[in-house]
């Protein structure tokens, strides 16, 4: 197993744990907000922040799973768009990258 694959698997596991925490928070905070509470705006904002973080984690987890699948298929360092090799520096910075630098900005 390559270092990159191990890194992606660790990231996948961290993201799963993070999502579990966000979902647990949502369940705890999922009850109706007391309209008399002084903290209602704060609670609402916190819930919105957690929902946003959860969505970002879900998107990143999807990208990590996709990158892992490409590694298993032997295509992990090949750009999905142009077929060129993805620069090692880019993969070091964004281990779940599936596009080379040029294609990611096109």
Q: Which residues of the chain have pLDDT under 70?
A: 29-40, 42
Our CA dihedral for 69, 18, 54, 4, rounded to 10 degrees, sits at -30
Tens of pLDDT, residue by residue over 25-41, are 878 766 555 555 566 67
User: 3-30+43-105 in CATH: which number?
Assistant: 1.20.120.910
Enumerate the domain spans of the chain: 3-30+43-105
What Rg, from alpha-carbon coordinates, does the chain have? 19
Environment class of residue 86 by beta-carbon count within 10 Å: exposed (0-12), middle (13-18) or buried (19+)? Answer: buried
This prediction's pTM: 0.82
């Amino acid at each position: 197993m390559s270092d990159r694959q191990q890194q992606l698997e660790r990231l996948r596991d961290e993201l799963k744990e993070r999502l579990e925490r966000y979902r647990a928070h949502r369940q705890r905070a999922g009850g109706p907000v007391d309209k008399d509470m002084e903290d209602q705006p704060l609670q609402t904002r916190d819930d919105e922040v957690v929902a946003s973080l959860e969505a970002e984690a879900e998107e990143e987890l999807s990208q990590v799973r996709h990158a892992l699948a490409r590694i298993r298929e032997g295509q992990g360092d090949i750009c999905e768009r142009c077929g060129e090799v993805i620069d090692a520096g880019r993969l070091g910075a964004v281990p779940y990258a599936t596009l080379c630098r040029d294609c990611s900005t096109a």
